[in-house]
Each structure stands twice: as C-alpha cells, then as structure tokens.
Structure 1
C-alpha cells in the first residue's frame, strides 16, 4: 500500500448565500456583480478553482504552521467557510458531467478539511486544559510572529522564555504529583503538540541566533532550558499518563473518533451504509475466504487451514534474495496484463520502477513491502533479534509476496500513480483510499477469478491470506473507532483470524491507528475494491464496455469516491447529479 494522508470528513450544514434570486449560468442575464474569494471569481472554471484552492491551503498551512495554534484554526476556518459559501453561487446546472463531478469533489474536500480542523480543535483544546496553562499558546504566538518577521525585543523575549520554562516545570510537577491526569488520547495529543513546538522553536532560534547580536546575548542562556523543559514535560506525560518510556516505539495509541465521526466520513466518501452494516460485510467476506482457504489447504493435504498457512509461511527466500524475488514477481504481473490486453501499460511506467530497502525502524510501522512510485522491500536485517528475523521472513514469504506485487506495482499502485500524475492531475487533491487502495485490491479479486492467472494451492493461500486481512481490517478499524475494541484486541484479531505473525499484526495496527490515515482507510481496501468490482459487472459484463476500456477510463479519471466515478461511466443521461448529491448506490448484494 501507499501512505498518502487523508483528511477526515465533516457534515456541517452550509450557510445559504445572501440572495434570493437563482444564479444564472455565468451570470449571462444579470448585471449584478458576482462575489469572489481571495482571487477566485465565481465564474472561474471549476478545475482552475481546484488548483487555486490546493495552493491557497498549501500556503496557509505552511505559514500558519503550528498545528495546535488557535490562529491557524481561525485562518483555515475562515478560508474554508468562504470557499464553501461561494460554491453555492456557482452555475452547477450549466456544467457537464465531468465538471459536476469536480464540483462535488471540491465541496466534499472542503467539508473534509473542516471536519479535520474541528476535530483537531477539540483534541487540542482538551490537551491545553490538561496542561492547565496557556504557555503553548504563548509559544505558538511567538513562532507566528517570527513568520511575519515582527520587530523583536530580545530582552522581553528572554523574559518570556524564562516564564514559559517555569510554567512547564510547574505542569510537570503537577503531573508527577498526581494533580493532573488525562485520558490516553488527550495525553498523547499533548505530547505530540509539545514535540511539534520543540521542532518549531529550534527553527525559531536558528533564524535569529548569530544574526542579531542582542538576541544571542539575551536568549542563548534561557533557550536551551526551554527546550529541555519541553522535552522533560513530554517525557513525563508519556511515563506517568501513558506508561511509556521516552523512546518507546512499540506501544500503540490512537485517537478513536466515535460513531458520529465515522458516519460523517462515510457520508462524504459516498458510502450509504452504517458502520455496523460494513462490519457485517467484512464478516460475510471473511466467511467466503475461510471456505476457500479450507479448499486450498485440503489440496495440500492439510485438514486445518492454519497448518497449511504455516506451511506457506515457511516458504521464503534466504536473506539477501528478496529484492530479486520481488523484481521477478513484478515482471510476471506486468507481462500478464500486457499479454491479455487488460489495461494500457505505458513503457515509461514499466521501465522506471525503482527499488529500495526498508529500515528496521520503518518495518515496525510497515512490516510488508510497499509500492507506488517505487518498491520498498521489507525483509530482516542483521540488527534484528532472532525472533524478529523469523517473523519478517515468514511474513514476507514467496506466496504472500506474489499476492502483493500486483497490488503494489502493475497493475496496482505504480500504474495508478503513473496515470494520476498525467491525467487530470488536479484531482490528486481528492485522494481517497476507496479509489487508490480499492483499485489495487480490485485486482486481487480479478486475478483470483481469472483462469489464466496461474494459482497453485500455495498461491491461493497467499492470496486468501491478504483477502482475509482486508476483511479483518474492516472489522478491527471500525470497531476501534467505535470504541468497541482496544489496540491489543485488534492485534489479537489479526493473529487469530488471519494468521499474522504477532510482529506484523502489531505493525499493521500501529500504522492503522498512529499513522496519517483517516478512520476509513483500512476498511476502504476491500470496500473500494467491492465497489469497482460491482461497477465492472454493471458496465463490462452487462453494459458492453471492454475490460481494457473500463480500466483505462478509471485510471484517466484520477482520484474520487467510486460512486462519482460511476456517475462518469453512466453519464448524466442515466445518473443526474445535483449540487447536494447524496450517496444512493447500494453496491453490495445482501446488505440492504
């Protein structure tokens, strides 16, 4: 899989524009001036507006860089609200289907950004209450003043640093004395905010130090004490409130968003099912996988499929040979889709695959190899313990790797990302796991069905392992965010249901709840794949499209929720969109 960052979703109702007459297309019959926002005219092309919004947000987020700063929150809130209000004025009915899809993509993206912003405000406010002081706000304000290059009084700055240091020491002592306590999610957010402040303060100090002699005279002594106090406070919170050592890389802590947060995310991803219904889909798919796993195990002479899985896990190459295995498997998958003309593979895409090795530290978060622009191979190194080496070898065995290569490279992520950079690239702003991960998982389903894709019983077990993994991801990720499973219970589910090595299960859960992912990311692999698979049946098996036409059209559409891609495929004649379009496509049989 690839590791893009995904915003959360939000469903606040939009304010109506302050007018009563309907807006005419391009204002052709009205001499009333049209509103504009920050350089964006009401009649600007929707694709141009998307590019502008992307750069506006990049500039705002880069300048107001302290994520926990109220000033940053306010600036983004004002911008996002203004852009959403202007969308209400835009001539939606004058747009063709592509432009209508772009409009809905932009609207959902802005609402996603608002949702994440509001969630961050809530978590940051709780963290500030826990710390019991406004020193983080004072420090953020000074960083923002440096961004503006405000005039500086070095003596007063030194006094502020001394005062902030004293307050951090008081906060630390209160935590050590048991006067300050917090839920793990709040304590974890507090440590993240403190560590972010530390990194920004290091940049703040280097900007002035040596260039302003009076600054160095006054600030060089209190500055290292402030940095030490920041680190000490963060370490104390980890140790006392979270039970962690300062260098702990193993404990898994996340921020569950609750049922309402999941429902908001589902609405904006255009998934018309409840979390409970999606969990049921995961269970149904798992039952199918287990039946097929038993068949493959029986073909190998095993009565228990877990024993067959253990047999397959031990079919790995020797240390040092994994890059060659992955290279050869990549060539096999690429040759297959070219031979059967399943999808267009541009020569540059095929010829420019780069390969790297993953560090032992990174393997704690990514126990399996990754793909996309390049292949990043995960395999044991000499620095690992004996047990860690064996788990890495078994978790990256030949047949697991074969079932992963086409997901990660061609026809999966590598091919997809090649097209995204070249066709409607402005839509990369709308990256959604239901599209990018759904596409890669969809190929797992297609090749499972294909009689021409060679599958020994060992190969089938490798493919089914990953498919069971996707089922379990739906269940554990949604239950975690619903507050129905702990991180440890998620790990155990992967071990018991799927047959993961414990280390790889921990890595998967750690990445799921501590990485830069939205709450639906892990569930989106299978659910997005099921959507594309259902659409394939609708337009290829029944609608007259060729397989290659369908695949190429998907790749050239770039990124979007699959239901909006379906709107492009069907066209406005079959699926009429409006600016308040809500999900209505029940893509999974058996779940009403």
Structure 2
C-alpha cells in the first residue's frame, strides 16, 4: 500500500494505491511506482547527469524484466497493463534523453552546478564535511554566478525555453544547497562557523540569478509574448505529434483542429435553435448575454450548486445510467476559490471537491460583475455534474477503489473526456429542458471546441496568447476576464500542452465507443459506464481493447480513428 498526496489549488486529499494480488504486471507497476518514488527522494537534482544516468538504467532494467513475462498468456486486461507500462518506461527514457540534451545546451549558464551537486551527494549519506573547503567552494560558486550572469546577458543564441530551463535548474540548485546547509548548520560546529556567511551570499545570488534568467533574459527572447503578458512555452509540431502518439490519439494537430471545427458547426446550429426559442432569433450572442444576467446574489452560489448536484444525481439514477455508491453521494465537498485563484480558474474546478468561482470582496467592481455573469445559472446547470457526479468526483471515487494501481497511467483524455462525455450524453437524454439551460450547455461545448483550436494554434506557433483571448471572447462569448483567465490557466497553470484538447477528444472517444458497443446492443449503458469506472482512467483505446477483447501484441500501435465513427 502506498500513500500519496494530491493537491489542487491548495486543497489536499489523500489516496491509497493497492496492487492487485496474483497479477505479475500489476505488482510490477506498483513496484515501479514505489521504486521511482524512492529514487526521486535520493536523487533530488532531477536535472543532472547523475539523475539521467541512474533513472535511464532503472527504466531499462524494467523493460528487460518485462521481456521475461509471457505476454500471450496474459488476459486482455493484463496485456493492457503490460502495454501501458512498456509505453511509460519508453517515454520516461525518451524524456530523460531530451532533458539531458537540454541540460547540455544550457550548461554554460550554470558552470557552478556540479560544485553544488557534489555537496549534496556527500550530504545525503551524512559525510563529515571539510567546512573550510565548503566555504572556499561557495566563494568560488558566488564568483562563477557573477561571471555566468554576465555571459548570459551577451548570449544571443539561446531561446526563451533555454533561459527558463536554466532558471529552473538554478532554483533546484538553490533548494539542494539549502538542504545541505539545513542538515549541518547548528549540528556541526566547524560547518556552522565557516559556512554561514558564504552560504547566505550564494543563496541570495542564486535567487537573483534565477529571476534574472526567467524574468529578464527569457522574456526578452520570448517571441510569443504580447500585450496579454501571459508567458507560455509553445512546443512546436514535432513535440505535439510525439505527445499525441504517447496519448494514443492517432491524428495530426491539423486533423484535430478540423474535427473541432466540425463540432463547432453542430454547436452553431443548436445555438441558433435555442436563441430563437428564447426570442432572439439568429442573434445568439444577445441570447447568451441574456442568460448571463440570471445569476444568484453573492453568498447564494453554494446553495445553488448543492441543488444542481442533487438534480443531476437524481436524473442519472432514475435512468439507471451508472451505479453511484451511497458513500460517493455523501462524501463530496465544496470550497470557494480566492481572488488570486480565479485569475487562473474563473469557473468551477472539481474532483474530490467542487471549487466554486464567485465574486470576492477584494475584487474590483468590473471583475465582480464579470464573475457573476460567468457563473450564471445556465452555465452552472451544465457544469456542476461535470465536476461532481457523474463526472470527476464519481470517477475519482471509483478509481481509488478499483484497479488503483493504474494511477500512473491516468490521462486527461480519460479524466476530462469522461466528464465531457457526460455533457454530451445528458444533452442527448434531455437533461437541459429550457432554452436557457441549452444555451448554457452549448456555451461550454463551444468552449471545448475553442480550446482545441486556440491551444493547438498557439503551440504550432500560429497564435499569440492575446489572439487566443480574443478568439474566446468573439467566437464563444466569454467575458474578457474569464477568457484571459482561461488562456493564462492553459499556458501557465501547470497543464500539459494537450490538456485542453483532451476534454473534447476524450469525450468523442467515449461517444464513439458508446455507439460501437451500446447502440449496437452489445452492452447496456449501465454496464458500459460501470465497467469504464472499474478499469481506471487509462487511455480510452485501451479500455476499448478490454471490452471488445481485442487481440493485442507487445508491438501494439495506436490506430483507432474514432472520429470517423461519429456523425
């Protein structure tokens, strides 16, 4: 059993991961997770030649060990475990190689790195330091930082990504040096005498140098920066293609944009119908503006969220769409997002809890008004169940209790795809009864399409952050405040480059699979949904392989062109 902490905007929850007894691949997966956790605690400089060498050796040893497992004797679900573990090990090695290459590229910016790393390497086993030599080395490091800073300012060959990489390495070195200092200071008399003053000078120099690299040199070299001030890191087509292959999405970025535009066309047609029903004819933006006026007073939003959560649960249970454990209905919670958090998340967030965005007293009046309009009744009706039940909350609840060892394979195409799939399914089932509720649901579906288009165009180097913001305002009808927050979250919120496309594409995968096995009569909706929740948040193509008992091989390559199955 392994205990891990997951944090979302400061909210902490605890999960426990259990192996499946008697399953060699499942047990190996848990061992790998425990081993990597242990190694990462020892080798704390994860951008260092030592780390690259050690982890590359470890991942290769797991691949070698897997060769001893008789793949054809495994059940389909065990074969899926095998393929996913093999995929992850190969991807880890690939990322190590890329990181090692990037480290070599920026090494002239951190010529003092090895001096600091060697101190920490000796510390981790408690070696008695030569305190006078440590002080001498720190004085040398301080001088090297000054020289490196001067040379960095003259370097015109490095990119913004290089400078930010170097800044991250410097911050890591600063933390590693603090680890050394905190270990010996006040315990080792000689260390305490000799090292205090040089340490404080180097600590300050490292902090200033990291900021210089990140906020001056990187910004100066960043060709994607614009008036929005949002700092991202466009990764380019080659890296996007590699990530799509890893996520088992066999489409090019351009094909995904085309799919998003196709889905947008459906949204446009339905939005015009709902606009006409509300009395605004073809002017859907006026209809959207009208529903934005229907919001509850400050202080009343949590009460509305509770009511909408109960309505969604009743709707799903009455139609026997998915099994909802009583404890799942009892154990979800809610929290309010702060003003600062809403700069990155202007709407709900969710999981174990639902995190509510609504005006705070310290907001400017214009921001308060936009927050009210952005969290109106119609929008909330379409997203509370996305965050809670049957969306993220239910999925997270089940993933902790069934095949939880698959946690390392979690993908946003399954996590966000599951919640988005329910937006589609509940639309089909008539959950949104009024024109206002339909417009709210269509706003979000258009938003998911727009996320694909703006995020891929940004990473392909075609759009700037401000163009992304303008697209959300003009094409979807976002408030400027929420559009800016969404783009900031997309590019600086710690999400991967494919995260924003995962909502719609994961939802379309599940929708296509629903058509294949439910509409055809091979499975009931209840069985389909329950089985998905019991298999973990793995790539949807792998779930498809399990329920269709697909013949697999160790050389499996993703090839499911799911979008072609949708009308």
Asked if TM exceeds 0.5, the reply is yes
**In structure 1, what is the Cα distance between the partners aligned to 2:111 and 2:308?**
56
Query: d(CA) in 2 for partners of 1:3 and 1:517?
Result: 14
In the alignment, what sits opposite 1:154? 131
Alignment counterpart, residue 195 of structure 1, candidates 156, 163, 171: 171
Task: Tell me whether 1:205 sits opposite 2:181 in the alignment.
Answer: yes
Select which of 522, 533, 538 maps to 1:560: 538
158-167 vs 50-59, which moves further: 158-167
Q: Is residue 322–residue 526 contact of structure 2 (8 Å, CA) maintained in 1?
A: yes
Specify the alignment match of 2:3 in structure 1.
none
Is there any run of 5+ residues in structure 1 with no aligned partner, and where?
Answer: 6-42, 245-249
1:348 aligns with 2:323: no
1:468, distance to aligned residue in structure 2 (A): 0.9
CA contact (8 A) 1:209 1:215 kept: yes
* 2:526 equivalent to 1:551: no
Residues 119, 177 of structure 2: 8 Å contact kept: no
Alignment check: 8 A CA contact 1:402 1:459 kept: yes
Q: Distance in 2 between matches of 1:493 and 1:115?
A: 35
**What is aligned with 1:234?**
210
**Greater mean alpha carbon deviation, residues 167-176 or residues 74-83:** 167-176
CA offset at residue 193 of structure 1?
2.5
Equivalence for 2:33: 54
CA drift of 1:471 comes to: 0.8
- d(CA) in 2 for partners of 1:203 and 1:388? 42
C-alpha change, 1:364 and 1:124, in structure 2 (3 Å) is farther
Structure 1 match to 2:418: 439
1:368 alignment partner, one of 347, 351, 373: 347
541-550 or 190-199, which deviates more:
190-199
- The CA deviation at 1:179 is 5.0
Q: Is the 8 A contact 2:432 2:441 kept in 1?
A: no
Contact 1:343 1:552 in 2 (8 A): yes
Q: Distance in 2 between matches of 1:590 and 1:438?
A: 17
Distance 1:487 1:76, change over 3 A: farther
Q: Tell me by how many angstroms 1:86 deviates.
A: 2.9
Q: 1:105 aligns with which of 84, 89, 92?
A: 84
Structure 2 distance, partners of 1:122, 1:344, is 49
How far the C-alpha of 1:591 sits from its partner, in A, is 9.3
- TM-superposed CA distance for 1:89, in Å, is 3.4
- 2:554 is matched with 579
Q: Is the 8 A contact 1:66 1:197 kept in 2?
A: yes
- Is the partner of 2:382 in helix, strand or coil? helix
Quick check: 1:188–1:253 contact (8 Å CA) kept in 2? Answer: no
CA distance in 2, matches of 1:435, 1:394: 30
1:260 CA displacement:
2.1
Shift of 1:519: 2.5
How far, CA to CA, are the matches of 2:229 and 2:466 in structure 1? 9
Q: Give the superposition deviation at 1:278.
A: 1.0
Between the aligned partners of 2:378 and 2:336, the Cα distance in structure 1 is 19
State the TM-score, normalizing by the size of structure 2. 0.90
Partner of 2:302: 323
What SS does structure 2 have at the residue aligned with 1:151?
coil
Distance in 2 (CA, whole Å) between partners of 1:61 and 1:251 is 34
CA contact 2:432–2:438 (8 Å) conserved in 1: no
- Contact 1:293 1:464 (C-alpha < 8 Å) held by counterparts: yes
Task: Give runs of aligned pairs for residues 84-233 of structure 1, distance below 5 A.
Answer: 84-129=63-108, 131=109, 133-175=110-152, 178=154, 182-233=158-209
Counterpart contact for 1:279–1:478, Cα < 8 Å: yes
One of 315, 326, 331 as aligned partner of 1:336: 315
User: 1:72, 1:545 → 2: CA distance?
Assistant: 48
Partner of 1:424: 403
Aligned to 1:22: none
Which residue does the alignment assign to 2:256?
278
> Within 2, Cα distance between the matches of 1:547 and 1:519?
32
Which stretch shifts more, 506-515 or 94-103? 506-515
Report Cα offsets for 1:106-147 as digits up to 9, x if no partner: 111212323333333343333334x2x411333233233322
Which of 464, 470, 486 matches 2:464? Answer: 486
The 1-side partners of 2:292 and 2:404 are apart by: 40
CA deviation after TM superposition for structure 1 residue 149, in Å: 2.4
**Structure 1 CA distance, aligned partners of 2:150 and 2:338?**
38
The answer to whether residue 358 in structure 2 is matched with residue 379 in structure 1 is yes
Once residues 480 and 80 of structure 1 are traced to their aligned partners in structure 2, the CA distance between those partners, rounded to angstroms, is 33
CA apart distance, 1:513: 2.2
Q: More deviation in 179-188 or 105-114?
A: 179-188
Deviations 1:287-335 (A, max 9, x none): 1111211221222222321222222223222222222221221111112
1:404 Cα offset (Å): 1.0
Q: TM-score w.r.t. structure 1 length? A: 0.87
Which position in structure 2 is the counterpart of 1:569?
Answer: 547
Residue pair 1:277, 1:591 contacting (<8 A) in 2 also: no
Are the aligned partners of 2:351 and 2:387 in contact in 1 as well (CA < 8 Å)?
yes
Once the two structures are TM-superposed, the CA of residue 207 in structure 1 deviates from its matched residue by 1.6
Query: After superposition, what is the alpha-carbon deviation per residue over 1:42-78, rounded to whole angstroms, capped at 9, x for unaligned?
Result: x971111111011111111222122222211221111
Shift in CA distance, 368/164, structure 1 to aligned 2, threshold 3 Å: same
Return the match for 1:515 from 493, 496, 500. 493
Aligned-residue RMSD, C-alpha: 2.3
User: Against the structure 1 CA distance between its residues 385 and 187, is the aligned structure 2 distance closer, same or farther, given a 3 Å change threshold?
Assistant: farther
- CA gap 1:251/1:187 in 2 versus in 1, 3 angstroms: farther
Give the corresponding residue for 1:18: none
- Shift of the 155–418 alpha-carbon distance from structure 1 to 2, 3 Å rule, reads same
